[in-house]
Amino acid sequence: MIQLFKMALRDLGRNRRRSFFSSLALAIGLALLLLMASFINGEMSGAMDATIRLQSGHLQVRAESYDMNKTSLKWEDLVANPDQVAAQVATLAPVKAASPRLFASGIISVGDESAGVRVFGIDPASEANAPYRDGLISGDFLIPSDRQGVLIGEPLAKKLDLKPGDQINISVNTSNGDVDEQLFFVRGIYTTETSGFDKSTIFMPLAKAQTITQTENHASTIFVLLKDTQQTGAVASALRSSNYKVLTWMQMNEVIVQFEDLANSYMVIFYLIILGITATVIINTLIMAVFERTREIGILSAIGMKSRRILAMFLAESTLLAVGGIIMGLILGLLVTAYFERYGFHIGDYGTTADLLIGNTIYAKLRMDDTVNLSVLALIVTLLAGLYPAVLASRMEPVDALRAGQ
């Protein structure tokens, strides 16, 4: 076996440039696959992380009849005494934060300009609202006793040309089906680096949101963050009751899970296309080697080398090409991926929906299983690509091969 690889290495060295570029083609293909896989993983994990932090939490406790899509404000669809319920949830050891939130649909108006928004009534002191507090870029964060202030996203502020201290008009739906309209002041402007969320979401203290929507001492949900995502199932079981329903982050983010499955399915097609192109290069290299060494193959056959050994010799050459290409591909792929893991790829406003929050910058995230699987796949495809030239060489008749080589 060692002798075969020595011969294969010698044969590849006859045309070093061609052998190098064949391995380089495989390296570039593998590096591209690693980069694509890391971007898909980064995009999906980033979207899920953003949705959990900003919108869904790990868990939500809601009234049985509440429908998030309708943003119902009827008292029977809301959680009564939300502060008390949140305090009970917060006593569980795995819970990092539990905070009541009230959701309402509204319209913000400034002069002749207006925009539809989602109003979040929040407890400003809760740790659950750290992403908005940490993302404050101008002005001040809300305080629980504020009755005239709101927090708006940077894209919305730019659209309406607003700055802290400006007065705005907000109209919201109420629990009895009417519309209430009041003047507010912009206390601060925030960014979560997720334009799809920032441009349509404004915040006001929970007490004020309850007053303007006429939902006193009620909330849409209890937003729950956990210390460890793996504890989601256990905490959900502990919170089960006949009065409320408990939804996990997986149930609330089915769109992201389905989108990830769909993206992975399509990526398999791209993987096969890229590897198919790479396989074509390998096949071309080895077929050229077979025809260049036809007389040599005939001599080896004539002195007694068996067909299976000739087959093994060419497979050894394709193995060396594969190993060299994979090593170069891993080095190149890991370097490129490391760059995008640190600096990311800025895409700006991706036009995300409320169900799929994608940040303005996508960061690559390469998993070990993807690295191993793609490397093994590249090796298998290269060996399969080398099988046809190897079989072609092994089936040559000695006499015909000697005559063709003259």
- CB 9 within 8 Å of CB 16: no
pLDDT, tens digit, 9 for 90 and up, residues 57-77: 999 999 988 877 778 888 889
What integer pLDDT is reported at residue 335 of this predicted model? 94
Report residue 277 as tokens: 């192109």
What integer pLDDT is reported at residue 22 of this predicted model? 83
Compute the distance between CA of residue 348 and CA of residue 380 in angstroms, rounded to an integer: 39
Compute the distance between CA of residue 148 and CA of residue 205 in angstroms, rounded to an integer: 9
- CB 114 within 8 Å of CB 104: no
Percentage of residues in the chain having pLDDT higher than 90? 39
- CB 285 within 8 Å of CB 321: yes
Task: Output DSSP code: residue 128.
Answer: G
- CB 288 within 8 Å of CB 14: no
Compute the distance between CA of residue 315 and CA of residue 326 in angstroms, rounded to an integer: 16
- CB 201 within 8 Å of CB 101: no
Q: Quick count: other Cβ atoms within 10 Å of Cβ 165? A: 10
C-alpha distances (whole Å) from 211 to each of 173, 175, 182, 204, 214 are: 12, 10, 11, 11, 5
What integer pLDDT is reported at residue 405 of this predicted model? 47
Compute the distance between CA of residue 324 and CA of residue 165 in angstroms, rounded to an integer: 63
Q: Provide the Cα torsion 44, 45, 48, 51; round to 10°.
A: -100
Instruction: Give kind and range of the element (H or E) at residue 282.
Output: helix 254-292
3-state helix, strand, coil in the chain (%, to 5): 55, 20, 25
What integer pLDDT is reported at residue 397 of this predicted model? 63
Block means of pLDDT (10 residues each) for the chain, length 406 residues? 69 76 88 89 82 90 84 88 92 93 92 89 93 93 93 92 93 88 94 87 94 92 93 90 85 77 76 82 78 67 71 80 90 93 76 62 87 89 82 65 52
Compute the distance between CA of residue 355 and CA of residue 207 in angstroms, rounded to an integer: 27
- CB 357 within 8 Å of CB 47: yes
* 272-282 core/surface letters (b: 16 or more CB in 10 A; e: else): eebbeebbebb
Nearest Cα neighbor of 400 from 283, 306, 298 is: 298
What integer pLDDT is reported at residue 286 of this predicted model? 78
CB within 8 Å of 252: residues ≥ 6 apart: 56, 60, 68
Compute the distance between CA of residue 145 and CA of residue 166 in angstroms, rounded to an integer: 19
Report residue 216 as tokens: 């006193």
Report residue 343 as tokens: 């600096």
Reduced to 3 states (helix: H, G, I; strand: E, B; else coil), residue 107 is: strand
Q: Quick count: other Cβ atoms within 10 Å of Cβ 112? A: 5
C-alpha distances (whole Å) from 351 to each of 76, 198, 215, 357 are: 34, 11, 32, 9
Task: Output DSSP code: residue 270.
Answer: H
Rounded CA Rg of the chain: 31
C-alpha distances (whole Å) from 88 to each of 98, 128, 129, 294, 320 are: 9, 16, 19, 82, 63
What integer pLDDT is reported at residue 19 of this predicted model? 80
What integer pLDDT is reported at residue 399 of this predicted model? 53
Compute the distance between CA of residue 49 and CA of residue 81 in angstroms, rounded to an integer: 29
C-alpha distances (whole Å) from 119 to each of 25, 152, 165, 202 are: 53, 10, 19, 5
Report residue 233 as tokens: 């199932």
Compute the distance between CA of residue 381 and CA of residue 30 in angstroms, rounded to an integer: 11
What integer pLDDT is reported at residue 404 of this predicted model? 53
Compute the distance between CA of residue 259 and CA of residue 166 in angstroms, rounded to an integer: 40
Amino acid in position 186: V
